[in-house]
A = this chain, B = another copy of it.
Amino acid sequence: MQLLFHYNWLVREEWYSWCEDLTEEELLKNRTGGVGSILQTLFHIVDVEWSWIRLILGKEDFQENFDDYKSISKVRELDARFHKEVEEFVNNWDKNLESNKFYDLQSDGSHSIDTWGEVMRHVIAHEIHHIGQLSIWAREIGKKPVSANFIGRGLGTH
């Protein structure tokens, strides 16, 4: 479980570097699908990862407004701010937490019940999915996307 988070963090860092070569216009350009722009995708990934972990811990989640984070350095700052808390939770993850329940309030007032294990896998898949979207937009711009390979990143447990 943890290793897929570590993978996501490594890949995300590479996308930040990748973004450094793009103009602000390209980063913010509205594109088809996903959440709309390259930068907003990275912002969304950071926000969602942190928010889910806050939610299952019963902590307050605040809705970040993308309008306040419209540069790569601001998104990286937000990521750095959230990362300590996320990293601590992920690195202390234990399979005994797997079946803990999270009561997810739905918009109609009802609750659905997710396990913490489901939430963790949801967060993992969420980021990889959105990164896949970035890889298409990269090619549309004519740039090679960051590799999505898991192997070759030193993430084996030897």
Contact = CB atoms under 8 A, between A and B. Distances in A.
Interface of A: 3-4, 7, 32-34, 98-99, 104, 112, 114-115, 117-119, 121-122, 124-126, 128-133, 135-140, 145, 148-152, 155-158
Contacts of A151: 104, 112, 114, 118-119, 122
Q: Is the interface of A mostly helix, strand, loop or mixed?
A: helix
Most buried by B among A3, A99, A151: A151
Contacts of A104: 151
Oligomeric state, in copies = 2
B33 A155 contact: no
Contacts of A7: 121, 125
Given A121-B155, A131-B132, 11 more contacts: A7-B125, A33-B137, A33-B145, A98-B157, A99-B156, A99-B157, A114-B152, A117-B156, A122-B149, A130-B132, A133-B133
